[in-house]
DNA sequence: CAGCATCCAGGACGATACTG
DNA sequence: CAGTATCGTCCTGGATGCTG
């Protein structure tokens, strides 16, 4: 009794697809951690101050489902799981770098530290 | 009795600042509309199928507060308001274009239309 | 025409406790 | 160690009605 083709949230524009994959409270931070190398679960949790296990797991699973992250499970006791960026995940690097630089430029030109928000509209 | 410097959501990384400014159900769509030229409120609402007045207003105000959008009010009756991108808003163009192209590439290589989700891990 | 006010549902996120 | 399960809260966004 369920609609088979139900797709309530359908991305129209490719840019929105991209946006959806990096949107999330911790995703950019997780991406950055993994970009610096392979990491274990606890390692990530220690680096990402304040993140809960639930959110770390959830975001990692989403990124894995999106094909950005590779999850390698070692059949050992105690368990050992390693996370790393896939090629697709790594391919986000130029984009995120550009976001980073735009953010810096924006902060510098629009919000100089210590200055009140004054927009000087010359002319 | 309230902490004066309370800042519950503080962006750490410049990339997150950028992300915050383009995150929102309709922001990329609004940006795209305005990128093609100056638009009036109703014009935007007609183009953005499904958006409510509330969300259009809200997103426009946020983008205005962020310095991405310029709002020009004509003191007429009936009211006339024109929205356009500021220079800062326009400067997002390369970034959004790159998001667009990454999204296309991602869709082509990871989700060929009509194909089931099969990850063929050669080797 | 271009809003604003109000109410509401769903999802994102956090806190906490438990487990193979 | 690396999770899962449950609960509660806040926030986003949608629906609707009213206004200068």
Res. A114 pLDDT band, cuts 50 70 90: low
- The minimum CA-CA distance between B2 and chain A, rounded to whole Å, is 22
Look up the pTM and report it.
0.86
Round and report the angstrom distance from CA (B52) to C1' (C6): 15
- The minimum CA-CA distance between B59 and chain A, rounded to whole Å, is 16
Task: List, for chain B, all residue ranges whose pLDDT scores fall below the cut of 50.
Answer: 1-8, 117-123
What b/e readout covers A42-68, taking b as 16+ CB neighbours within 10 angstroms? eebbeebeebeeebbeebbebbeebbb
Residue B64 confidence (pLDDT): 98
Res. A60 pLDDT band, cuts 50 70 90: very high
In terms of Cα–Cα distance, which of B51, B89, B53, B55 is closest to B69?
B89
Round and report the angstrom distance from CA (B79) to C1' (D20): 10
Residue B111 confidence (pLDDT): 73
Interface residue A53 vs chain B (CB under 8 A): no
Question: What are the start-end ranges of the H helices in A4-72?
Answer: 14-22, 27-35, 41-47, 53-65
CB contact under 8 A, A99 and B100: no
């Amino acid at each position: 009794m369920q609609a088979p083709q139900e797709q309530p949230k359908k991305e129209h524009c490719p840019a929105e697809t991209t946006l959806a994959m990096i949107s999330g409270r911790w995703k950019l931070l997780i991406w950055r951690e993994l970009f610096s190398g392979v990491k274990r679960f606890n390692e990530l949790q220690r680096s990402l101050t304040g993140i809960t296990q639930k959110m770390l797991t959830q975001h990692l699973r989403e990124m894995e489902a999106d094909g950005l992250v590779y999850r390698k499970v070692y059949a050992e006791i105690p368990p050992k799981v390693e996370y790393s960026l896939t090629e697709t995940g790594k391919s986000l690097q130029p984009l995120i770098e550009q976001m980073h630089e735009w953010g810096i430029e924006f902060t510098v030109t629009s919000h100089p530290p210590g200055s009140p928000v004054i927009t000087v509209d010359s002319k």
